[in-house]
Chain A
Amino acid sequence: MIFEERQIEKNNFSSRAILLFSLIIIGLVAVLIQVFTLQISGYSDYQLAALKNKNYAVPVQSLRGEIFDRNGKVLIKNEPTFDLITRPNLILNIDSFLEEIQPVIYLSETEKYRYTKLQKEKAFVNKELVLKKDLSDEEIARFNVRSFNFQNAFIAKRYRRISDYPDIFSHVLGYTSRTEDDFNSIPEIPRSHWKDVELTYAQGLIKGKTGLEEIYDEHLSGRHGQRVYEMNAKGQFLQPLSLTKPERGADLYTNLDIDAQKSAAKFLGNRKGAVVAIDLDSGGINVLYSSPGYSINKLSNGMSEDEFQALINNTDKPFFNRALQGRYPPASTIKPAIGMYGLSNNIVNWDFEMKDPGFFTLPETGRIFRGWRKGGHGMVNMHKAFLVSSNTYFFSLAYQADITELSNHLSSLGFGQKVCFDCFDEDKAFVPTPEWKYSIMNAGWLKGDTVNLGIGQGYLVATPMQLANYASILATKGQFIEPSLVALGNQKKALKIWKDEGFNDSDWRKMHQALLGVIESDYGTARSIRDLKEFQVAGKSGTAELVSLDSKEAYQKVRTSELLRDHSIIVAFGPMPNPRYAVSVVIENGESGGAVAGPVAIEVLKSLIDE
């Protein structure tokens, strides 16, 4: 090549080489810019992403608080059981391991099968695996002696929710059951990590399902902690990095009284019914008992399917909380309320007298409403009407009542309302109104309906809780406090006042005298319980008719079928003259109120007052 040509070639090469090397430099700069974007601008995001890759947070279950009665005696506690936990990654040969541990711990074939199936998978990711739950004392002792042989296994505490009185507090305390609700309780822990939760309870993740366990679940639950493990890309746990300890749930101090509840259970026996007792100073519910009950220990900690089915199919309906959900006609126990209405509205006064022939004839139709005693009670005023429980007197009073006003009056006394501050699944029961009757039965309200209401029969129904609340209004002369099982510091309960212009202090005094007379006088319908105690008690008993009958003879036939027998009811408060407790008792198919429900009420009051 000639010189010029070489020069041209060289220049040509140079310019092309410069072009390509410039492109290379642009490429390197682009890479640097990208790296800068990742490392400097995007640092915090990517740092977080890297941590999220390797940090695996596992929830640690918190311990629930315990529940106590008003004297500080424990009602529900956490009782430890012991499980044998293994570290499968340290077990090289499953068969020989099982053979070695066999003489120490009894293992069934299914337990062995289940363990062998899961072992490899858990070993790979360095997780723990339960070999046997709920070890016996002997097994624990045997294992402890030989524990140096088993570096790959250890005993861990797992709690159970246990009550020493599982059957008598079943409805009020309630039970716990497994839950998946907690899966969202820790925002930074994804749902999938909950399969690795470190359990504190043998039953797993639990929450209150009924009763106080449910109502105060948040208070009792505490907060789950978390343990963060370092994890590699295969999902193997390498080492624990940090632990946020779980916060134990707060204890719950209730107004319940073990001894009084025991008395209620003892004297109700195996009859169906309910007892509610209220401390008038605080509104605290001391007794909330429904019979029959069931074992909350079994329900909380695992019950066989057969046992559960037996409970469900039991015709006595043990799951039914009669104290809060049982709808009973209040019968004669409503008479004080009707009396209050009559006095407030000047339909009657304490001096008004009338003849009780044993029945009341509805003027419009001539329909006969019978009293409980043939021949009646002679001349009765209000005081006597309470004592002898004259139906005729209250038929006649109710006949003159305005049904709407009377309904409002009953509502003001808590009927047809939820009255308990913190009860589980309380029923409102029912106060009838003409509008209700028209919309449901497509029939007008009859005078006879109001007359029936006068003795607590007919459409009116109330729960034992409402009856106890009503008794506490009567006992406190209207200055009552909303009933509650627990009152936490931050929950304000108000003093409630029942007041009516037409019902003054003297009326209250006379009312107390009359109700005292029901039990303490020679003529009172509930005098049979007078001698059971050393203090004075006021109250009103009732017998709720399940079938409407015109004569005693007809009732004798009905009696043969136990389920059609009358309910026996009493509301009472004492000790008089300065009552501290109010109580209501309903015994299904118990017949005559005073004689049957009365003793139960007295025993409950006794155990409350004797403290």
Chain B
Amino acid sequence: MNKPFQKIYFDPYLFFSLFLLSSLGLFFLFSASNLDIYLVLKQMVYVIAGFIMMILVSQPDPDIFRRTSGLFLIFSLLLLGLTYLFGPEINGAQRWVRLGPFSFQSSELLKLAVPIFLASFLFNKKLPIQRQEIIISLLIICCCFFLVFRQPDLGTALIIACSGLFVLFLSGLSWTFIGGSFVVLIISSPFIWNILLQPFQRQRIATFFNPESDPFGASWNIIQSKVAIGSGGLLGKGFGEGSQTQLNFLPETETDFIFSVIGEEFGFIGVLLLISIYLFILLRCFYLALSARDRFCRLVIGGLSLTFAANLIINLCMVVGLLPVVGMPLPFISKGGSSLMSLFLAFGIIVSMGTHKKFLPQ
């Protein structure tokens, strides 16, 4: 590293790949929003703010995050509680909390708070992890999952659960326990289906398995998404030329289904390029995790980057028709400040964890 960077904690690989990704994101969003320049400028403000925040968050020593992780979790839960009490209802769900002129989706913070807290809880535990510790961890995960699930926001709730479970798994959960819980999950699946899922969620899953049953109703989105992607072909129809996107046959083009816009207008080549950038980011995170200075950093980097990956893959699989429709944005591309902020926050923490080295090996 050069001299000026010795004081600033900075990962050029992640920085530039994220820069490329969010720039492309703005470009795609311009087309997906039917050339709404105001929307793109607003998003650009978020991106710039995000980069600044990422760099700022990269600077503190990982130990500070470890020590404040409990407070951070409590703060996140409080914010979520505020949403329940005061949040406006949008599309039948209470997800937002207003902070002055900004509204913020409070559940986004939990995506960070849960893995960091669990990492700080587990980093010094002996291998294999004891039953008592597992139970405490699972209780925290379940608690956060249900709070978000009740909003209702199945997508975010699943991601939060994943983020916690990733940390638990990486910290050395015994295979017997994993096998056992799998059996429990399968046995309890009818219960989950009938009691926990909302009717519209059940409907989405049903149409996923039989999309032709209702081409104009619930499966409209997924059919139109496949038509958009498929009609893009190898090279795509060109910027602003996608008929599925521009004539509104494709739903939610600015948020969940923006990948279909990219597939339609930029074709297989565009998709390949986009996925390569994501893959590069993930491999870089993998490297940082392996070379991190201690167990806590490893767990946090692993937990956060895998959460990011899960988020990505669920969105991709949903829009190409490999998974039922769940509300889940495409990271760094979809419109929306909250998710972008929490992503930059996560990557700031990853950079902090990956670039702070201990100079005194024991």
Contacts and interface: CB of A to CB of B under 8 A. Distances in A.
A21 B249 CA distance: 35
A310 interface: no
A86 to B, nearest CB: 25
Contact of A17 (B126, B278, B279, B302): B302
B230 A17 contact: no
Q: Contact size class for B? A: 35 or more
Contacts of B264: 50
Contacts of A43: 230-231, 233-234
A50 B243 contact: yes
A103 interface: no
Contacts of A50: 227-228, 230-231, 243-244, 249, 264
A38 B249 contact: no
A24 interface: yes
A232 B278 contact: no
Contacts of B321: 34
A45 B230 contact: yes
A36 interface: yes
A39 B169 contact: no
Contacts of B244: 50, 53-54
Interface in A315-368: none
B166 interface: yes
Contact of A24 (B226, B247, B306): B306
Most buried by B among A17, A32, A46: A17
B234 A39 contact: yes
A30 B124 CA distance: 37
A191 interface: no
A231 interface: yes
B135 interface: no
Nearest to B315: A31
Contacts of B306: 20-21, 24
B146 interface: no
Nearest to A21: B286
B230 A49 contact: yes
Contacts of A446: none
B290 A17 contact: yes
Most buried by B among A32, A46, A234: A46
Interface in B311-362: 313, 316-317, 320-322, 362
Nearest to B301: A17
B247 A54 contact: yes
Interface stretch (B64-72, B181-189, B192-200, B267-275): B267-275
B88 interface: no
B232 interface: yes
B231 A46 contact: yes
A38 B320 contact: yes
B172 interface: yes
Contacts of A6: 295
Interface in A34-76: 34-36, 38-40, 42-43, 45-47, 49-51, 53-54
Interface string A1-35: 10101101110111011001100110110111011
B110 interface: no
A17 B234 CA distance: 34
Given A5-B127, A12-B172, A39-B263, A31 B317 contact: yes
Nearest to B229: A38
Contacts of B141: none
Given A32-B271, A39-B234, 9 more contacts: A9-B127, A31-B275, A31-B322, A49-B230, A50-B243, A53-B244, A53-B247, A230-B247, A232-B249
6 contacts: A6-B295, A20-B302, A32-B271, A40-B268, A54-B244, A234-B248
Which 4 pairs of residues, A with B, have the shortest CB-CB distance?
Answer: A46-B230, A50-B231, A38-B230, A232-B247
